[in-house]
Amino acid sequence: MQNKNLSQRDQEHLWHPLTQHKLSPEMLAIVRAKGSILYDENGKEYVDGIASWYTCMYGHCNDHITQRVAAQMQQLDQVVFSGFTHAPAVELSEALMKILPENQQKLFFSDNGSTATEIGIKMALQYHHNLGNDRKVMLAFEEGFHGDTFGAMSVSGLSVYNGAFEDHFIEVVRIPVPKRGNLEEILKQLKKLISEFNIAGFIYEPLVQGAAAMKMYDPAGLEEILKICRENAILLVADEVMTGFGKTGKYFASDYMQIKPDIICMSKALTAGLLPMAVTSCTQQVYDAFYSDDIAKGLFHGHTYTANPLACTAALAGIELLTSEEIQKDIQRVMQSHKEFGERIKAHPKVANMRQLGVIFAFDLDVKMERYGNLRNQLFKHFMDDGVFLRPLGNTIYISAPFTILDDELQKIYKSIESALGNFG
């Protein structure tokens, strides 16, 4: 064991996510991170161009956050949240209410993005059950992704994740995302589905479908879909796990819409990448359907680490940064930098379907490529060799770096992408 490095020792016992270990047995060992930089066990540096799956939006090991959590560790580390409460959870609830859409009133804590959406789905289904409505079907977008637990998988439309489990899912009907020219047909299809199925809720990733390769779609079209759902008492469940906390240029992607969701699912950047936690918020109307003398009408869902005081403290410190003038200026700086980079490459023959919302920038490399195929892996290796951590989704190259990324670090990402345009295809 002493003669093996971390990457070799990893292979003895660990099973990694989204990995076929027979094809990809070796993992890169990261030993340190600060700001936008990851450091491997050999000392090589990588610019974290995706904020470690869109979590570390204020940079890794941000002193403001780590110091607050370190102090909280000395006072209260963990306590059951059933029958107890604590200051970090109460203060976080007050801070969230200041930035969430104004119709949100109640918060339910859990552990990760998948559980946040799982709870959102359960809220929608049990809301109608508690009211005596026979509504057991969920509506979702094609190619949406909402997590890996069973309810979340059920409403997700990416079969590569779901294959072995599809016979066990709740009933879901789907519509395409609104794009130029297809809205009329979608609305017609939606009305037909509403007439044929007893739909309880509509779950959607507002404006950006992350796992579907940062597919961005029309806000006006989404507004029309939300309007019809609201008119038919279908609860609106916004999955803001990826889009939340400033990445779209607003606190939440739902802030671009006039019609606000009944339920919002949050995680990832919620705790600034420091600790796992999730929140599912809802309106007073949703909460009231569970408020009853009948104990069975309560939402019987609980996680051991629900509202962990350390995670709540990290989230509270993160929101303080998000709402600060400094971070808001950083967001605008990164948005402008992406815009200028887009102008630089938009005429390249291999650049297709370039898109940007907030700090999320993406385009399709005009080369045929499987989502997890060899060519995609070569593209990933190209970036890593350049000291840039990007995870292409098939032929989609995207950036969602920390708000605090330095200008020269952004340029390093752009330079590596421009190099890839000359090397692939």
CATH value at residue 368: 3.90.1150.10
Nearest CA to 183 out of 212, 224, 148 is that of: 224
Residue 41 lies in a domain: no
Same domain? 255 vs 147: yes
Same domain? 269 vs 220: yes
Q: Which of 279, 306, 322 is the last residue of a domain?
A: 322
CA-CA distance, 102 to 192, in Å (whole number)? 32
Same domain? 347 vs 253: no
Q: Which of 284, 303, 322 is the last residue of a domain?
A: 322
CA-CA distance, 166 to 154, in Å (whole number)? 7
Residue 425 lies in a domain: no
Cα distances (Å, whole numbers) of residue 111 to 114, 115, 128, 305? 8, 6, 25, 7
Same domain? 211 vs 360: no
Measured from the Cβ of residue 292, the count of other Cβ atoms closer than 10 Å reads: 11
**Structure tokens belonging to residue 125:** 């289904």
Phi, psi of 364 (to 5 degrees): -100, 130
Whole-number pLDDT of residue 138: 98
Nearest CA to 116 out of 143, 139, 148, 89 is that of: 148
Query: For residue 199, what are the domain limits?
Result: 65-322
Same domain? 397 vs 252: no
Same domain? 232 vs 301: yes
Measured from the Cβ of residue 33, the count of other Cβ atoms closer than 10 Å reads: 17
SS3 102: coil
Same domain? 318 vs 363: no
Side-chain-side CA neighbours of 53 within 13 Å: the count stands at 13
CA-CA distance, 262 to 235, in Å (whole number)? 6
Nearest CA to 54 out of 413, 325, 389, 345 is that of: 389
CA-CA distance, 286 to 301, in Å (whole number)? 16
**Structure tokens belonging to residue 9:** 């020792």
Residue located via tokens 């299809």: 189
Same domain? 110 vs 257: yes
Whole-number pLDDT of residue 149: 93
Whole-number pLDDT of residue 162: 73
DSSP calls for 35-80: BTEEEETTS-EEEETTHHHHT-TT-BT-HHHHHHHHHHHTT-----
Same domain? 349 vs 308: no
- Residue 36: what residue type? S
Q: Which of 288, 305, 322 is the last residue of a domain?
A: 322
Nearest CA to 316 out of 115, 98, 105 is that of: 98
List the chain pLDDT tens, one digit each, 425 residues: 568 999 999 999 999 998 889 988 899 999 999 999 999 999 999 999 999 999 999 999 999 999 999 999 999 999 999 999 999 999 999 999 999 999 999 999 999 999 999 999 999 999 999 999 999 999 999 999 999 999 999 999 876 667 788 888 999 999 999 998 999 999 999 999 999 999 999 999 999 999 999 999 989 999 999 999 999 999 999 999 999 999 999 999 999 999 999 999 999 999 999 999 999 999 999 999 999 999 999 999 999 999 999 999 999 999 999 999 999 999 999 999 999 999 999 999 999 999 999 999 999 999 887 766 788 889 999 999 999 999 999 999 999 999 999 999 999 999 999 999 998 86
CATH value at residue 160: 3.40.640.10
Whether 116 contacts 265, CB under 8 Å: yes
Phi, psi of 73 (to 5 degrees): -60, -30
CA-CA distance, 238 to 248, in Å (whole number)? 14
**Structure tokens belonging to residue 336:** 């402008």
Phi, psi of 68 (to 5 degrees): -65, -40
Phi, psi of 208 (to 5 degrees): -135, 120
pTM over 0.85: yes
Same domain? 314 vs 344: no
The helix (H) or strand (E) run that includes residue 266 is strand 263-266
Residue 146 lies in a domain: yes
Whole-number pLDDT of residue 158: 74
SS3 177: coil
Question: How many folded domains does the chain comprise?
Answer: 2
Residue 38 lies in a domain: no
Whole-number pLDDT of residue 188: 98
Same domain? 216 vs 344: no
- Residue 254: what residue type? S
SS3 8: helix
CA-CA distance, 188 to 237, in Å (whole number)? 21
Residue 35 lies in a domain: no
Same domain? 412 vs 399: yes
CA-CA distance, 28 to 8, in Å (whole number)? 10
Residue 42 lies in a domain: no
SS3 228: helix
